[in-house]
Structure 1
Amino acid sequence: MKPTTLGPTFQNPAADKPDATAGGVLWPSRVCYLVALATTLWAVASILFPPTPFSLPLLPSVTVTQHPPREPPPPPVLAGQAMQAPSPKSNRAVTADRCAGRYIYVYDLPPRFNDDIVRGCRALRPWMDMCPYMPNCGMGRPLGAEGGAFPGPGWYATDQFMLDVIVRCRMRRYECLTRDPARAAAVFVPAYTSLDGGRYLWNGTATRDALALDLVAWLSRRPEWRAMGGRDHFLAAGRTAWDFLRKTDDGGDWGTKLLRLPAVRNMTALVLEIDPWNQSTTLAVPYPTYFHPATAADVCAWQEKARAAERRWLFSFAGAARPGSKKTVRAEIFQQCGASSRCGMFRCTNASDCESPAAPGAVMRLFGSSSFCLQPRGDTPTRRSTFDAVLAGCIPVFFHPDSAYTQYTAHLPPDPESWSVLIMHTDVTGRNVSIEETLSKIPPAAVKGMREEVIRLIPRLVYADPRSTRVDFKDAFDIAVEAVLDRVAKRRQGD
């Protein structure tokens, strides 16, 4: 369904009045309570009645020899698996393999493709030291209470471009790893391509492309690559696709040419924003946010806080101006927001303001007290701020469909009007539409329903703590892996 562009035809009740006790809230509250209770009981039972130990490989794979792989022993019986009748030739039970079609083989790459890059974290960006963002598997430093913005565990000062590190750490605890590439449904390449690309964006093109070309040469020599020509391989390239789509070798052309290399075009790259005209190589995944819950109980506790929040602002905006860009409506947003008593604003006068230690708390407090959060295009159509807004229970307002609807199809509902608002940028720039008037005419019941849908989306759009052994909910990582496995399976069927 195409998103509905909201115009000035709605009724005009007060849309920004909070209603945290009406229908639709009690049921999610009970679910959170039951999840927390079940988690506690499970922990007690684990202490009193420890299960029979079993293990799955949690580290990247060993180096593959040129000999045919041995048939692995049957997998252990795991909780929840169906057990078949014993074979008459053996007393050993035969079990259904719940990882069938989900096994992933992880390359043990030379450290120049990942660990050595992190060791040089001070030089990853010309204007700032990235080392503080590397601890805790790429989540960065823990955030304290900071004015009540971050109650409870799981909050970190996470940089928006740390997806490579977070996904690699999370993959180490993926439940269906295999050391046998012949058994794998997909192959993961744990290279830090976005960190490498980011550190050389202002260098010559030969320097920008050097490690990507080295990676392709290394992969092409592997027997795992030759099995499908890399069409079963995937990697995390945690920047927008535009940072990897340089067309020429002119030094003034932006980015690297990683995604234009023929070998990489056979793979799937997890990126923060896809190229809509070439979706076979890339898959858009959410930007990392500040929240990395370890359990479903952590998620539920935060969802309850988001539901109960007092929304004193009708709408708000956090960001910087783009005075030289004609692709954004930010100038009009600053003008309209500044003229309204119902709009809150966190304005960054420069990049350092948005990346200061105080910024996470200020942004989340603003979004947590707003009914709607404006999400205009910036340098590219998408923004990390969209996911910060959803995390705060704030309904996103987009000004172009490419800011979300054509991007995160695996993670977002197919009916965008159920959780967001679209006001076309051409209407705003033509001064035909008042943002405040449009939003204030949305009926309170519709606002309440959209907010509940936004809060329901939170677990699908956050990345769980990659160190946790207790992740018991489906997060953005899980959904991305499922999408990759589905894509590879379809490619195999086409062979």
Structure 2
Amino acid sequence: MFLSRKHRSNAWLLVTVALKWGVVVVWTREETPHHDTRLPQSDSLCEKLQYMSEPTMCDASKTETLLTGMYTRNVHNQDQNIKLNTAKKIPKVYIYSLPTRFNKDIETCVNYDAQPYLCLHLQNGGLGKFIYREGEMGVFYTNQFSLEVIIHNQLLQSRYRTLNPEEADIFYIPAYLGVYFFCRWSTTIEQLQNEMFDIIDAMPYFRQGKPHISTLAKIEREQAASDHPLLQNEKCRDVTYLVIEKEAYAWYRKFLGIENQRVIVVPYPSYVHLYNTKTASQSISSPGLESRQLMIFVAASDRRTNEFRNIIMDQMPHKVVDTTYEKFVEQVQAQGKDTPTQVILTTTECRPGHENITIGWMQKSVFCLQPPGDSPTRKSFYDSIQSGCIPVIFRFADQNVEYPFQRVLNYTEFIVTIDSERIERHEQIRDILEEIPKDEVHRLHQNVLKVARMLQYSVIESGDQPRSYRDALDMIMEEVQDIYNI
């Protein structure tokens, strides 16, 4: 159940991380106010936010750079310019060869052909059914719970893999035990997990305390619940799990007995996966603000999951189902009406149709709202980033929501955060977003384009071709290196 929370005033004092390619930031805690500069009032969206103009980027001292194998941190103030360099080697990952009942058989069990109601399309290495391609961007019917299959296949084809366990820095356990929840075989998760650890224990590396990682398809708390107590096994404490969401309530993690469980929060698998382009820049190619005619967009089901979400949904005056942006504009104009600038696209789970058009809508939008549903985070957050649409999240005082790679990525540089109390007071989201100066909107949009590659799982092509950018797998490996000091 979603709980109501009070305002939290903590924000972040930025500390720029200057690295070899592109842009990224880290930060330290500080009290800082939210945006409070209002724009002049106008009836025209372009006049209000002046998106048709293309202002220059902000002060170079605030320009962030993307990660490479070398970390360089720059701290800028009037009197100092400190650089800390730490070289990182490419870690070697050994993938255990487990019997197929721990992975491939589970994939077959939950795949769309076996259980269509789950809409788990797992072909193409877990990316799902191919839909269309625009330049380097591939759009696939990717399910949010496909992470175990994706990571396994990505590592199999990666530069990180070694077939020699003696030279491995990291050991990967390719068990699809999170998505096993949907199989309902007679074998319990406890039995299957014990069998898995017995196999791993037959080799010396787990007992030797070597770094071991694995992946969980569903959010953390659902992997420790009574109906799927995967994380209740004490041996899990010696494994670092890649998860799409870490439980946001510290008290509940303690209640579940997993307060000491190591996890790395990684991106939800989105619809978008990039093809390898050796000449690609760190910034993705995406429509500019002048081409984005919608100010506010939401892609969400029509389930009224909680009161807070309901308030947000009720502020969206135009609801669309299974219609492209272009068709919608045509219909509105045929009625002699102005094109709306706030739209919600109904994306009923497992109902076909919206997977073909969601990214197109986001590419026409400036801000993409991310209201919480059954849990604080959403797959749509990552769809919006890959579409160049600035995510808008909502902050609750009693939650500690962790986002991927926030050790090195400062999310305040490319998302908008609105305190929940403002929405609970029924302030209009449009009014809040119109407070943001045009230069800041442009800066946020540019930074979204710069971080997008690091928050997606690239298309697996023939062999492991060299890339000119970091993607989510590279970021994950650097997080593992940091945890284990590799």
Partner of 2:151: 167
Q: Does residue 10 in structure 1 map to residue 9 in structure 2?
A: no
1:223 Cα shift? 1.4
1:488 offset after TM fit, Å? 2.0
| Matched residue SS, 2:432 | helix
CA contact (8 A) 1:321 1:330 kept: no
Give, in whole Å, the separation in 1 of the partners of 2:318 and 2:455: 33
Give, as a single letter, the amino acid of the residue that structure 1 aligns with 2:477. V
Question: Which runs of structure 2 are paired with 1:171-190 in the superposition (5 Å)?
Answer: 171-190=155-174
Are residues 1:108 and 2:97 paired?
Answer: yes
For residue 311 of structure 1, the aligned residue among 292, 296, 321 is 292
Is 1:377 the counterpart of 2:372? The answer is yes
- Correspondence 1:347 to 2:373: no
CA contact under 8 A between 1:376 and 1:400: conserved in structure 2? no
Matching residue within 378, 385, 393 for 1:398: 393
Using the alignment, how far apart are the partners of 1:467 and 1:20 within structure 2?
Answer: 38
State the alpha-carbon separation in 2 of the partners of residues 485 and 100 from structure 1.
Answer: 9
User: What whole-Å deviation, never above 9, does each CA across 1:380-436 have from its counterpart, x for those lacking one?
Assistant: 1110000001111111111126999842251575543321111122321232x2101
The alignment's C-alpha RMSD in Å is: 3.3
Q: Distance in 2 between matches of 1:411 and 1:224?
A: 30
| Cα displacement (A) at 1:257 | 1.5
Answer whether contact 2:456 2:472 (CA < 8 A) is retained.
yes
Shift of 1:110: 1.0
Q: CA deviation at 1:466?
A: 2.6
Report the CA distance shift for 1:430/1:280 in structure 2 as closer, same or farther (over 3 A).
same
- Corresponding position of 1:466: 460
Instruction: Report the Cα offset of residue 139 of structure 1.
Output: 1.3
Cα distance in 1, alignment partners of residues 37 and 290 from structure 2: 28
Deviation at 1:129, TM superposition (A): 5.5
Is the contact between residue 169 and residue 467 of structure 1 (CA under 8 Å) also seen in structure 2? no
> Deviation of residue 178 (structure 1)?
2.6
Point out the structure with the larger helix share.
1
CA distance, structure 2, for counterparts of residue 151 and residue 284 of structure 1: 29
Structure 1 residue matching 2:295: 3-state secondary structure:
strand
In the TM superposition, 1:13-162 aligns within 5 A as 14-19=47-52, 21-24=54-57, 102-122=91-111, 128=117, 130=119, 133-144=121-132, 150=134, 154-162=138-146
TM-score (norm 1): 0.71
Equivalent residue number for residue 75 of structure 1: none
Pair 1:12–1:442, CA change in 2 (3 A): farther
Tell me which of 430, 433, 446 is aligned to 1:452.
446
1:214 aligns with 2:195: yes
**Match for residue 357 of structure 2?**
362
CA distance in 2: counterparts of 1:398 and 1:125, whole angstroms: 36
Tell me the CA shift for residue 112 of structure 1.
0.7
Distance 2:136 2:410 in 1: 32
Rounded to whole Å, the distance in 1 between the matches of 2:260 and 2:113 is 28
Look up the equivalent residue of 2:11 and give its one-letter code.
Answer: K
Return the alpha-carbon distance in structure 2 between the equivalents of residues 141 and 123 of structure 1.
Answer: 10
Counterparts in 2 of 1:105 and 1:370: CA distance versus 1, 3 Å: same
Aligned partner letter, 2:475: I
Over 3 Å counting, the alpha-carbon distance change for 1:466 and 1:403 in structure 2 is: farther
- Structure 2: give runs of 5+ residues left out of the alignment: 1-9, 13-31, 42-46, 61-86, 251-258, 320-339
User: Deviation digits for residues 65-107 of structure 1, max 9, x if unmatched?
Assistant: xxxxxxxxxxxxxxxxxxxxxxxxxxxxxxxxx9967122111
Aligned to 1:89: none
Q: Tell me the secondary structure at the aligned position of residue 168 of structure 1.
A: helix
The TM-score with structure 2 as length reference comes to: 0.73
Give 1:264's aligned amino acid.
C
Residue 434 of structure 1 corresponds to which residue in structure 2?
428
CA gap 1:281/1:238 in 2 versus in 1, 3 angstroms: same
Structure 1 unaligned runs (5+)? 28-97, 247-252, 491-495
Query: Is the CA contact 1:19–1:448 (under 8 Å) kept in the aligned structure 2?
Result: no
**Residues 251-287 of structure 1: per-residue CA shift (max 9 Å, x gap):** xx4x411122110111100010013433742110001
Aligned residue for 2:205, secondary structure, equals helix
CA positional deviation for 1:212: 2.4
**1:140-289 alignment to 2 at 5 Å?**
140-144=128-132, 150=134, 154-200=138-184, 207-228=188-209, 232-246=211-225, 253=226, 255-276=227-248, 277=250, 278=259, 280-289=261-270
- The Cα of 1:199 is off from its aligned counterpart by 3.1
Q: Report the Cα offset of residue 123 of structure 1.
A: 7.6
Whole-Å separation in 2 of the counterparts to 1:222 and 1:214: 14
CA distance in 1, matches of 2:217, 2:435: 38
Matched, 1:323 2:317: no
Q: Does structure 2 retain, via aligned residues, the 8 Å contact 1:464–1:471?
A: no
Offset at 1:160?
A: 1.4
Per the alignment, in what secondary structure is the counterpart of residue 235 of structure 1?
A: strand
Counterpart of 1:293, as a letter, is L
* 8 Å contact kept, 2:109–2:115: no
Distance 1:142 1:402, change over 3 A: farther
Letter in 2 for 1:346: L
Q: Distance in 2 between matches of 1:124 and 1:406?
A: 35
Greater gyration radius: 1
CA shift digits 1:175-200 (9 cap, x unpaired)? 24333323221111111122212334
Of 472, 476, 484, 1:476 maps to 472
Alpha-carbon distance, 1:316 to partner: 1.1
Aligned-residue sequence identity (percent) comes to: 22
Equivalent residues in 2 for 1:475-494, closer than 5 Å? 475-489=471-485
Summarize the Cα distance change of 1:367–1:309 in structure 2 as closer, same or farther, 3 Å threshold.
farther
Task: Note the C-alpha offset of 1:440.
Answer: 1.1
Q: Would the aligned equivalents of 1:153 and 1:298 in 2 still touch at CA under 8 Å?
A: no
Partner letter of residue 138 of structure 1? G
Provide the residue aligned with 2:63 in structure 1. none
Offset of residue 465 of structure 1? 1.4
1:457 shift after superposition: 0.8
Whether contact under 8 Å (1:285, 1:411) holds in the other structure is no
**How many pairs were matched up?**
395
Secondary structure class of the residue paired with 2:152: helix
Q: Report if aligned partners of 1:102, 1:176 keep a CA contact under 8 Å in 2.
A: yes
